[in-house]
């Protein structure tokens, strides 16, 4: 069916209007909006509302119509090839290795424990459900789960990267978005509740949370040292650095991917012949290298905010291609998500008990992975408002390793599936 709107400029305008409305209402203090977003995550709306444009309304009747054909729009291709790597650069640019080291070993241990729990949890959940319901895990389901791994280790940018690297079709991806967002937000609700009784949990864990007070002071000092009002030069530098790296990433990927395909075609099963894979890896790696240069100071002018803006535009273009009815056809996919999260949680609590880590480190270690920069500071601030940047800091580390960890999870899933 021919879409009513075929001009991508008009479609982009609609997507930006949707994002603007979601962000304005989600940050509003009006009770009607506050109560609504207490139960409905804004990120889900950024996927869901654009998907409504892609639905054929009143299908099978004479008045059937479709506003936009997501498959024919070129917006996703542009966003995934240009805005995604730019977003990865700006989100990893702000990583502060010295600040991370000051968090102490327990914080980092819990963060990487959370990462490992996701990497192994996906394959374990996939295997268990395949024993219960083989039809649920048949076909390319494993490919779709790689996008959940990307989201839960890094965030939306890493999720989109896995979608391209493992060639996940839009129908499966639509189901995975629902599994990802709903499961993650249920767990986040438990973490927020846990923050309110953290002293009791710390007592059960045998943890000493006195280090959190010292950490709170260091974080406040760090933030005050980099915050500035951005100038036009700052913003031009942020965008310039991002897209210079995007250009370099494309240039090198165009050399590396064909070379591997010609000389070692057997590496295709590891996605090493995919130019998009190399674009993402190179952009992430260069972002990490820039984080130890003077360009890291661009974070004070809002580098990660610009990166997040690019990311949400990408999220909206992904939503434009979604089939939101797909989840109703495979409800057992939620079982995979639940088992996956339980593996993640169990491993976290076992390690926390073993090393006597405060529940604060458990919570932000988990949420920095599963929720990313969007929700990790929310969980951190539930313990104390000044600790919110700690969640961001660890979430940035998640962005940095998300591509690598999700790719590894995907390779394990592929081995189990085949």
Band of pLDDT at residue 109, cut at 50, 70 and 90: very high
Band of pLDDT at residue 300, cut at 50, 70 and 90: confident
pLDDT of residue 116: 95
Q: How do the domains of the chain map onto residue ranges?
A: 1-73, 75-417
DSSP type of residue 67:
S
Residue 184, H or E segment:
helix 170-196
CA distance 222 to 345: 31
pLDDT of residue 391: 75
pLDDT of residue 215: 62
Phi, psi of 296 (to 5 degrees): -60, -25
Structural tokens at position 325: 């009815």
CA distance 48 to 158: 19
pLDDT of residue 120: 96
Phi, psi of 66 (to 5 degrees): -135, 125
- The model's pLDDT over 39-79, given as tens digits with 9 standing for 90+, comes to 777 877 888 899 889 887 877 787 888 898 887 889 988 99
Q: At what angle do helices 170-196 and 359-370 cross, to 10 degrees?
A: 160
pLDDT of residue 226: 74
pLDDT of residue 93: 82
Q: Is the pLDDT of residue 122 over 90?
A: yes
Band of pLDDT at residue 222, cut at 50, 70 and 90: low
pLDDT of residue 15: 95
pLDDT of residue 17: 97
3-17, 308-322, 360-374: range with highest mean pLDDT: 3-17
Q: What average pLDDT does range 152-166 have in this prediction?
A: 82
- The model's pLDDT over 316-331, given as tens digits with 9 standing for 90+, comes to 888 887 766 666 666 7
The rounded Cα 15 to chain-centroid distance in angstroms is 20
- Top-confidence residue, 221 or 17: 17
- The model's pLDDT over 357-408, given as tens digits with 9 standing for 90+, comes to 999 999 989 988 887 766 676 688 778 765 766 776 777 777 778 888 999 9
Q: What angle do CA 172, 174, 180 make, to 5 degrees?
A: 100
Q: What average pLDDT does range 23-38 have in this prediction?
A: 89
Q: State the pTM of this model.
A: 0.71
Q: Is the pLDDT of residue 273 over 90?
A: no
- The model's pLDDT over 141-150, given as tens digits with 9 standing for 90+, comes to 999 999 999 9
- How far is CA 230 from each of CA 90, 126, 238, 299, 314, rounded to the nearest angstrom? 15, 46, 10, 10, 24
């Amino acid at each position: 069916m021919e879409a009513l709107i075929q001009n991508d400029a008009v479609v982009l305008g609609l997507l930006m209007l949707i994002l603007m409305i979601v962000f304005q209402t989600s940050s509003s203090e009006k009770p009607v909006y506050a109560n609504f977003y207490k139960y409905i995550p804004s990120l889900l709306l950024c996927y869901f509302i654009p998907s409504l444009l892609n639905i054929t309304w009143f299908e099978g009747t004479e008045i059937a119509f479709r506003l936009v054909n997501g498959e024919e729009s070129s917006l996703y291709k542009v966003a995934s090839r240009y805005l995604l790597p730019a977003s990865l650069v700006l989100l990893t640019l702000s990583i502060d290795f010295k600040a991370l080291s000051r968090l102490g070993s327990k914080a980092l241990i819990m963060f990487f424990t959370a990462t490992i729990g996701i990497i192994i949890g996906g394959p374990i959940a996939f295997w268990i459900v395949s024993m219960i319901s083989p039809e649920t895990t048949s076909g390319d389901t494993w490919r779709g789960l790689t996008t959940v791994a990307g989201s839960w280790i890094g965030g939306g940018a890493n999720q989109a990267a896995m979608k391209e690297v493992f060639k996940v079709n839009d129908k499966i991806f639509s189901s995975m978005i629902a599994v990802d967002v709903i499961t993650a937000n249920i767990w986040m609700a438990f973490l927020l509740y846990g923050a309110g009784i953290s002293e009791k949990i710390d007592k059960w864990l045998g943890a000493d949370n006195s280090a959190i007070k010292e950490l709170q002071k260091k974080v406040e000092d760090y933030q005050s040292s980099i915050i500035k009002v951005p100038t036009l030069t700052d913003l031009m530098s942020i965008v310039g650095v991002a897209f210079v790296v995007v250009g370099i990433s494309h240039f090198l990927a165009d050399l590396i991917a064909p070379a591997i395909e010609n000389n070692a075609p057997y590496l295709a099963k590891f996605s090493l012949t995919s130019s998009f894979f190399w674009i993402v890896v190179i952009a992430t790696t260069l972002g990490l290298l820039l984080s130890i240069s003077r360009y890291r100071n661009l974070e004070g002018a809002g580098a990660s905010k610009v990166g997040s803006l690019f990311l949400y535009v990408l999220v909206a273009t992904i939503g434009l291609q979604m089939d939101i009815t797909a989840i109703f056809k495979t409800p057992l996919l939620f079982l995979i998500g639940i088992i996956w999260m339980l593996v993640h949680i169990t491993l976290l609590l076992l390690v926390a008990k073993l090393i006597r880590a405060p529940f604060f480190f458990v919570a932000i270690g988990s949420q920095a992975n599963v929720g990313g920069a969007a929700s990790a500071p929310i969980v951190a601030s539930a313990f104390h408002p000044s600790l919110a940047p700690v969640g961001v800091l660890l979430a940035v580390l998640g962005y940095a390793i998300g591509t690598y960890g999700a790719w590894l999870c995907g390779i394990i899933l592929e081995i189990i599936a085949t």
